[in-house]
Amino acid sequence: MPRSSNQKMKVLYIAKILSERTDEDNLMTAQDIIEALSHYGISSDRKSIYDDIEALRAFGYDIELIPGKGGGYYLAERDFELPELKLLVDAVESSRLITSKKSRELIKKISKLTSNTQAKHLNRQVYLSHRNKALNESVYYSIDAIHTAINSDKQISFKYFNYNIRKKRVYRHDEKAYIRTPVAMCWNEDKYYLITYSPKFDNPFASYRVDRMEGVEILDIAADKFDKKAFSISEYIKQNFGMFSGEIVRAKLSFDESLVSVVLDYFGSDTVLFDAGNGRFIINVNVTGSNVFLGWIYQFGDMVEILEPISLRESMKGMVKTIGDIYK
């Protein structure tokens, strides 16, 4: 870019320099800023630097000056503090929803929200147990399209697939596109689900994993109407995901007291705990007899016992026997 053009944007380049190169541990003097500007073909002097910094302050930049020897200017306040950026990076790195490539791209963008020096502290790697990243690169854009459709009261179309043993996509519905009214997004066990509505079916509400959706398009078709007061998203999620899916029963469960935190994590912090003595406690909760729930109980061995109902105890006995028979 010609020298004269850059000269007109001197104050913008000063903002860029302070944003990228300074923080409370890395200061720049007026002379440092003059030298940095010279790399952009911009000439300056100390007085104009002082004037430009005052202009940036008046505009809203929180530029601090540490006086004396070894002092200098730095950008004091940013939209995000370094611990907040570390948290965002960890969330992006650990999310199964986001592919490895998209994670790197997002982390690179997050790193631009702080100085170059502090950005080095964002070069983190979160080690996760048995978690793999998503394979579907388009999921990032599918989510955006779905939210746009929900907010615009429009229907969407998409193809839905599973993977075969060769990791190739096998499309459902004879590879035809599904056309549905998007209702809400649900996050469950590190996976994003879309809850949809279609009046064509006896069970009009259904859920689809977003990372298994392809070619999501917003249609110029008004969303199907349903009684939003009669449909509870929270109840739908509770009855259709994980260990709460299926027919709900009232269960009485006995736990070793070492599992208090585990119980509160799964059933909620408002769960009432009854001291049963001998280092155990009892809870009464709504659950299902699904294999997911029974498998969750099974992992704790003799630290958990299903007390009621009898039908749930029998289901647990059946699972234990089936597993035992496999290893005879």
Comparing 28-42, 83-97, 130-144, 147-161, the range with the smallest average pLDDT is 130-144
Q: How confident is the model at residue 86 (pLDDT cuts 50, 70, 90)?
A: confident
CB proximity list for 38: less than 8 A, separation 6 or greater: none
The domain segmentation of the chain, as residue ranges, is 3-75, 82-122, 139-239, 241-326
Which DSSP state fits 224? P
The predicted-structure confidence for 203-213, as pLDDT tens digits, reads as follows 899 999 888 89
* pTM (two decimals): 0.57
Task: Quickly name the fold that domain 3-75 has.
Answer: Arc Repressor Mutant, subunit A (1.10.10)
Write down the residue that tokens 């003595």 correspond to: 277
Number of Cβ atoms within 10 Å of the Cβ of 263: 19
Residue length, the chain?
Answer: 328
Count the alpha carbons within 13 Å of 125 in the hemisphere toward its beta carbon.
3
* Domain spanning 241-326, CATH class: alpha beta
Q: Which amino acid belongs to residue 321?
A: K
The predicted-structure confidence for 108-128, as pLDDT tens digits, reads as follows 899 999 998 888 888 765 444
CB 251 within 8 A of CB 312: yes
Neighbouring-strand partners of residue 219: none
The predicted-structure confidence for 44-82, as pLDDT tens digits, reads as follows 999 999 999 999 999 999 999 999 888 999 999 888 888
Q: How confident is the model at residue 237 (pLDDT cuts 50, 70, 90)?
A: confident
